[in-house]
Amino acid sequence: MIGIIDYGMGNLFSVSKALQHMDIPHVVSASPSELQTCKGLLLPGVGAFPDAMKSLEASGMKDFLLHQVNQGVPLLGICLGMQLLFEESAEGKGAAGLALLPGRVVRFTGQDVLGNRYKVPHMGWNDLTFYQRNDVLTQSITGGYVYFVHSYYVETMDPSIVIASARYETEVPAIVGKGNVYGTQFHPEKSATTGMAILGNFCNFIMKKEECLYGTIHNLSSY
């Protein structure tokens, strides 16, 4: 069972539907006790970083997540959910994150090195440059476009955690991960075939870890 964390920030419906398409058992819940037995966790989210952290803290979800990750439970953050994995964000008045990965979240400046303005948010389908091809999330993915919509992005001093990136005036970490903690800046649940394959990879990783066969992800081919 995979747990989708509901902390009042965004569109859980599409993530849940994506898993449903792939016949992956999952539960959407705002309660740590309900998510206790999940073998993998998904942290979606859109909206503002400080509000999201407040909500995670108030519900006890922050402590729960840190504890589960420490126990080896795989975690995948999506979009804002990925940003929350890092140490801090400059969004709003600034806020500390979960600090599971090294780096900070900053806003696109909207101005290139020559002083020309560019558009924020980074919105639409962009392609990925892969640094780690056979990682958990990137297995069997050879390319393709994925859907981004965000105004903030991650800056990290540790290149080893950047599995793939996209180019939008600057280098935008698109898939990050270390150990059992992963994140995608784009929305895999909105990224057609490529996105479904990435979500499928994460679920496979959990299943393998669980050493238990839930049945195959046979619906993947229908995308």
Partner 1 sequence: MLTKRIIPCLDVREGRVVKGIQFGNIRDAGDPVQLAKLYDEQGADELVFLDISATNEGRKTMLEVVRQVAATLTIPFTVGGGIASIADMRAILRAGADKVSLNSAAVRNPELIREGARYFGSQCMVVAIDAKYKRASNSWNVYTHGGREESEWNVIDWAQHVQRLGAGELLLTSMDQDGEKSGFDLPLLEAIQQKVYLPVIASGGAGRGEHFVQVFQRNLADAALAASIFHYKETSITNVKQMLKQSGVHVR
**What is the binding site for partner 1 (CB under 8 A)?**
10-11, 13-14, 17-18, 20, 46-48, 110, 117-127, 145, 147, 149-151, 167-168, 187, 189-193, 195-196, 223
The single residue of 38, 79, 91, 150 carrying the catalytic annotation is 79
Comparison of 36 and 58: residue with beta carbon closer to partner 1: 58
CA 213 to chain CA centroid, Å, is 24
The single residue of 38, 91, 187, 203 carrying the catalytic annotation is 187
Closest approach of Cβ 77 to partner 1, in Å?
Answer: 16
Phi, psi for 170 (deg, rounded to 5): -130, 175
Query: Active site includes 79?
Result: yes
Comparison of 14 and 29: residue with beta carbon closer to partner 1: 14
Closest approach of Cβ 149 to partner 1, in Å?
Answer: 4
Comparison of 74 and 195: residue with beta carbon closer to partner 1: 195
Looking at the chain, the number of H-run helices and the number of E-run strands are 6, 14
Comparison of 16 and 180: residue with beta carbon closer to partner 1: 16
Closest approach of Cβ 211 to partner 1, in Å?
Answer: 30
Closest approach of Cβ 180 to partner 1, in Å?
Answer: 26
Closest approach of Cβ 169 to partner 1, in Å?
Answer: 10
Q: Beta strand pairing status for 122-127 and 145-150?
A: antiparallel
Query: Active site includes 189?
Result: yes
SS3 for 165-196 is EEEECEEEEEEEEECCEEEECCCHHHCHHHHH
State how far the Cα of 214 lies from the Cα of 13, in Å rounded to an integer.
22
State how far the Cα of 88 lies from the Cα of 160, in Å rounded to an integer.
19
- Angle of helix 12-21 relative to helix 192-210, nearest 10 degrees? 70
- Angle of helix 61-70 relative to helix 49-58, nearest 10 degrees? 80
Query: Active site includes 187?
Result: yes
Comparison of 33 and 221: residue with beta carbon closer to partner 1: 221
161 DSSP assignment = G
**Catalytic residue numbers?**
79, 187, 189
